[in-house]
Amino acid sequence: MTKRQSSYEGRQKNIRKLKTPRIEVWKNQYPDKIYTVNLEIPEFTCICPKTGLPDFATITVEYSPHKYCIELKSFKMYTIFYRNIGIFHEHVINKILDDFVKACKPRWVKIRGVFNPRGGITTTVIREYT
């Protein structure tokens, strides 16, 4: 039996090393309180790494700040960066979560990406950090 090579082979090899814009933070004045912040990006776009066509999604971030909170303008600029990046849905959610945790070190965070249908299939990717 021969191994069939995927037409996606090698397209995301270095995605974990992708240099993204810095997400800025500000000092939380209530680090002793446990509360939740919800962020919604209803017009997120990235590029399909195979077709080069745009992918559209709603990204929702739910987190509990600890010492730092996310600065929204820098987070907006961070998400806009992906408009020209060819990246799989699964990878973009994982990369956003990794960068988010690195920036603010929250108590916990959950990121959900609901990608518009492609070929009649809606993709939802969820990742959590606790």
Domain 24-129 CATH (choose: 3.30.1130.10, 3.50.50.60, 3.30.360.10, 3.40.50.720): 3.30.1130.10
Which residues are known to be catalytic? 48, 55
Instruction: Note the pLDDT of residue 121.
Output: 94
Domain coordinates in residue numbering, the chain: 24-129
90-127 confidence digits (pLDDT tens): 999 999 999 999 999 999 999 999 999 988 999 999 99
**Does 50 score more than 70 pLDDT?**
yes
**Does 11 score more than 80 pLDDT?**
no
Q: How many CB atoms lie within 10 A of CB 53?
A: 9
Give the model's confidence band at 7: pLDDT under 50 very low, under 70 low, under 90 confident, else very high.
low
Instruction: Note the pLDDT of residue 38.
Output: 98
Instruction: Note the pLDDT of residue 32.
Output: 98
Q: How far is CA 24 from CA 5, 79, 124, in A?
A: 41, 13, 27
**Burial track 63-78 (b if 16+ CB lie within 10 A, e otherwise):** bebeebbbbeebbeeb
- Give the DSSP H/E element, type plus range, for residue 124: strand 121-129
45 in Cβ contact with 83 (< 8 Å): yes
> What percent of the chain stands above pLDDT 70?
92
53-85 confidence digits (pLDDT tens): 999 999 999 999 999 999 999 999 999 999 999
Stretch 32-52: mean pLDDT: 96
